Structure 1
Amino acid sequence: MKNFFKKIANLPALKTNRKLIIFLSDDWGSVRMRSSKHQKQLEANGLRISSRFDQFDTLESNADMEGLYEVLLKHKDCKENNPIITAVSNVANPDFKRIQQENFQNYHFESIDKTYQRYPDSNKVLELVKQGIEQNIFIPQSHGREHLQVNWWMKDLKDENSFARKAFENEFFFLGADYLNDPKRGRGIGAAFDIWDEEDILSSKEIVKSGLTIFKNLYGYNSKIFTPPAMFYNPGIESNLVENGIDWLDVGRFFKIPLVNGKQRAQFNYLGRKKKSGLKVLVRNAVFEANMSANDNGVARCMYDIEQAFQSKQPALISNHRASFVGGIDANNRDTGLKSLDVLLKSILKKWPDAEFLAGSEL
């Protein structure tokens, strides 16, 4: 039944006879779990380590980037192109030190070039990212400024007894709604562009513009794709996206638009749908996550999804997260993820010799 509805939903979507493979990998640049030591402290303070992100995800390191590039450079498609990771990236993180110095009354952020320098094992990452851009194997696109609903976080931080304040001590902010004093929606404060009132909409507009400006300054080009964290946003920011060079909006097929006062409106999307703002909609139709299960490396599921996409004459837009490839918390997680990626790429090229690797921005 799920496959039937998926095929019906694909009927109006963008079509092509080319077998295009696009990897869209989220969360690069954002801090998450600082280290295994911090993870244990957070758990002792009451954080449930239940998701694979809290279990494995951390800022990418020099070794993570070098290992990923080694796998990508091993493979070439029918046009001699290497696989390309479209790295859906945040360009800033909270400036924890300044926020604390001002007694949690004001928000400050630092751009990721400073974050990378603060983390000793990540001090070469920005240089490696730029090398990846030159080699056309790692192409950043925008995931907003921070992976954080700033207004909601700051409201809780002003309460010294809040769980947000406890987590702050370990530079952690990815809190679900059940950890907040005044829970809004179930997505928690990682959904950076979720809104509750008009103030949130105004803040979102400012943050969008700021994030895209920082992105251009870091990488030397405008992002063409915008993926809101948790794929959740209010349309009030769309004009700001267009004004700052965004062409594609990466959201879910069935999407609930957050409105003021807790209201929502349902929206159906398909690949290539053009919105009134002029933005085109990008909808992912495949998944590759090597750590969703201890007994499944994700390859078979992804190969099935790619086949379904090609049967519908669509590009295979493969959803992925950085958490599959980082080893700062658990080196085995990185090793497993990279081995699985290697197997997936071999399998793709064997089954579809005419497959082409493409960056999302080339779509």
Structure 2
Amino acid sequence: MLNAKNLVGWRTKRKIIVISVDDYGNVRLDSKKAREVMDSEGMIAENRFDALDTLETRTDLEMLFETLSSVKDKHGRHAIFTPFAMPCNINFEQMAEEDYEQYRYENLPQTYEKLEVQQPEAYKNTWPLWREGMKKGLMVPLFHGREHLNLKLFEEKLQKRDQAVMVALKNRSYTSISSVEYSTISPMAAFDFWEFDENERFHKIIRDGLDQFEAVYGYRSNHFNPPGGREHPVIHSTLKECGVNYIDTPLIKREHQGQGRYKKEFNFTGKKNNEGQIFLVRNVVFEPTEKRGINWVDFTLKQVEAAFRWNRPAIISSHRVNFCGHIDPENREEGLNALRELLNRITERWPEVEFMAANELGDLVAGKQD
């Protein structure tokens, strides 16, 4: 598989490293106390995201930035994270005031402003630090949807006063939610659907989401990766209209056609869709806190080596949860130690390596830069 996934696609003899990390800006789990309350109410942490994935804290970012700054590429540029990030979250306070009658959202700076008051030891001055990391080029956020949840499922559960959803919301969280109602919809996947015509609603959400992204992060995102990695191409035209030229997509994508019918699409970096947008396919996986019984640094290096062997850029896929320490500081330590080792070994083995953000690679593939 290491070689097979690199057989087709855009080629370069340059040793390019992109680190694409999903879920930044998203409030999934509020705090350790919230997790304990949800546990006591019978809401199970099914996975490490349910157990550990919180909005990035000041310490999370400080330690991440120190790690990224610890290496340099051939141009003297430090390592870069491309966070596929959300600009918006659930407005828990407004929903509580309105007795949870309907979905309400707020933008990320508003979320941080509230958390500075509620949890100052973790969140004081975190948003200014986020902005500083962007200014220094350590973080180049790109569009991951407006919010990291499926609104259809959320609203239907809200209407039924679903116990798990109500407990989660009252604990300023949205995690440990089941999806028994629809086999095709994950609670966290914003663009999942059951009936095909549900895609109609997504056009408005995308337009608003990209406007919100620009307001929050200070520029228009030209690159998109859907939460959960799933969307139907019917929304690509709206993304294009709103300035998105690059789409992050799986190598083999199970594309939902409605009511549980799927078709498979084979993708590769450099492939264009009907709108002329360019696909970028992640060909390296790095999930250092996922317990698979492997040495993640060694495994990831083998994938990077395979990419370079076939003259491909190494697009590393990861998630924020690997670098979260708000619930368990040891989780963050494990993830960042592995990241530091990986970056050191990459720069030692390939001194000609170049670190890039995902949209910079998109520009290179499109011929917009040298």
Q: TM-score range by the shorter chain?
A: over 0.9
8 Å CA contact retained: 1:91, 1:146: yes
Aligned partners of 2:87 and 2:187: how far apart in 1? 17
The percentage of aligned residue pairs carrying the same residue is: 32
Give the structure 2 partner of residue 99 of structure 1: 95
Question: What residue is the counterpart of 1:206 in the other structure?
Answer: 204
Q: TM-score, normalised by structure 1?
A: 0.93
In the TM superposition, what is the alpha-carbon distance from 1:247 to its structure 2 partner?
1.2
User: In the alignment, is the contact (CA less than 8 A) between 2:257 and 2:263 conserved in 1?
Assistant: yes
In 2, distance between residues paired with 1:67 and 1:158?
A: 41
- 2:303 pairs with one of 257, 282, 305: 305
1:152 equivalenced with 2:153 (yes/no): yes
Give the equivalent residue in structure 2 for 1:24. 20
Summarize the Cα distance change of 1:291–1:360 in structure 2 as closer, same or farther, 3 Å threshold. Answer: same
Given the two structures, how large is their TM-score scaled by the length of structure 2?
Answer: 0.91
1:173-184 pair list within 5 angstroms: 173-175=174-176, 179-180=178-179, 182-184=181-183
Question: Alpha-carbon deviation of 1:294?
Answer: 8.0
The number of residues matched between the two structures is 356
Deviations 1:143-199 (A, max 9, x none): 0110001121111111124432232222332345xx2462332x5210111112255
Deviations 1:2-61, CA, capped at 9 Å, x for gaps: 345424xx32x0000000000001100001111111112212222222311122211101
Aligned pair 1:118/2:114, yes or no?
yes
In structure 2, the residue corresponding to 1:189 is in which secondary structure? coil
Structure 1 residues 82 and 164, CA gap change in structure 2 (3 angstroms): same
Alignment of 1:62-77 (within 5 A): 62-77=58-73
Please tell me whether the aligned partners of residues 20 and 82 of structure 2 are also in contact (alpha carbons under 8 angstroms): yes
**SS of match in other structure, 1:144:** coil
Alignment partner of 1:44 out of 16, 40, 46: 40
Q: Which residue of 2 aligns with 1:135?
A: 136
Aligned to 2:334: 336
1:14 partner letter:
W
Q: What pairs with 1:1-363 in structure 2 (closer than 5 Å)?
A: 2-3=1-2, 5-7=4-6, 10-11=7-8, 13-120=9-116, 121-175=122-176, 179-180=178-179, 182-185=181-184, 188-198=186-196, 200-293=198-291, 296=294, 298-363=296-361
- Cα separation, partners in 2 of 1:78 and 1:322, compared to 1, 3 Å: same
Secondary structure in structure 2 of the residue aligned to 1:267: strand
User: What is the distance in 2 between the residues matched to 1:161 and 1:342?
Assistant: 43
Distance in 1 separating the partners of 2:133 and 2:240: 26
Task: Tell me how far 1:234 sits from its aligned partner.
Answer: 1.7
Q: Point out where structure 1 has 5 or more consecutive residues left out of the alignment.
A: none
Contact 2:87 2:108 in 1 (8 A): yes
Deviation string 1:246-286 (CA, Å, 9 cap, x unpaired) is: 11111111111222333222211111100001211110000
Cα root mean square deviation, aligned: 1.7
